[in-house]
Amino acid sequence: MRPYVRCAHFGDGTSVTMKSKSLQNEAKRHPPETLLKYDFEESVGYWVGITTHVVRRALDVELAREGITLRQWEVLAWIAHDGELTQTQLAERLGIEAPTLAGVLSRMERDGWLARVSCPNDKRCKLIRATDKSEKLWNRMTTCCHRVREHAIQGISQEDLETLKRTCEAIRQNLDGWTN
């Protein structure tokens, strides 16, 4: 068996090439310089953010198997949750700019998944609603979501899940009014 060789680069500009076990020992003696210090291990934002990233990545993989993008899922999920929305309201919920969302909505409308209808109080405004054609698609999407959910919660007790839910709600309530 050939020895496993790697190259390590250190913060002081030096580098070494060695067997993997040696690399681990050398890296401990020469940790990379870090200018940007932060207590990530104690950061609620980091915990939530990195977990969200992993869940989104898993969901993206599942949805891609069905030919659906994560953004398309998000659009239909917000409509399912909140009902008809304007493009501006939808963009706000997605955390993106309305023009960024325009292309996604146009493709979904072209494919018959969405319809834009005039707002009753303002004819210049358009509401976005799901169509009958999106119902079959929605069922495939929720099946993907359930698979990801089941995988994500393996080995986690119902009690821990309820605690997580309460904790997330408390964080949302704590920050909701604070940022406005």
Q: What value does the mean pLDDT take over residues 46-52? A: 94
Same domain, 22 and 84: no
Same domain, 92 and 19: no
What pTM was computed for the model?
Answer: 0.72
**pLDDT value at 17 more than 80:** no
pLDDT score recorded for residue 122: 84
Q: What value does the mean pLDDT take over residues 139-146? A: 94
- Number of folded domains in the chain? 2
pLDDT score recorded for residue 24: 57
Same domain, 26 and 47: no
Same domain, 112 and 54: yes
Domain range enclosing 22: 1-30
Quickly state the pLDDT bin for 30 (edges 50, 70, 90): low
Report the CATH number that the domain containing residue 69 is assigned in CATH. Answer: 1.10.10.10
Per the prediction, the chain carries an average pLDDT of 85
Greater model confidence, 89 or 4: 89
CB contact at 8 A, 30 and 15:
no
How many Å apart are CA 105 and CA 84, to the nearest integer? 13
Q: What value does the mean pLDDT take over residues 160-166? A: 97
82-115 pLDDT per residue, tens: 999 999 999 999 999 989 999 999 999 999 999 9
Same domain, 135 and 79: yes
Same domain, 12 and 58: no
How many Å apart are CA 125 and CA 87, to the nearest integer? 9
Alpha-carbon 102 to chain mean position: 20
Residues 6+ apart with CB under 8 A from 141: 63, 66, 68, 73, 76, 77
pLDDT above 70 as % of the chain? 81
> What are the phi and psi torsion angles at 6 (to 5°)?
-135, 160
Whether 149 maps to a domain, the answer reads no
pLDDT score recorded for residue 4: 43
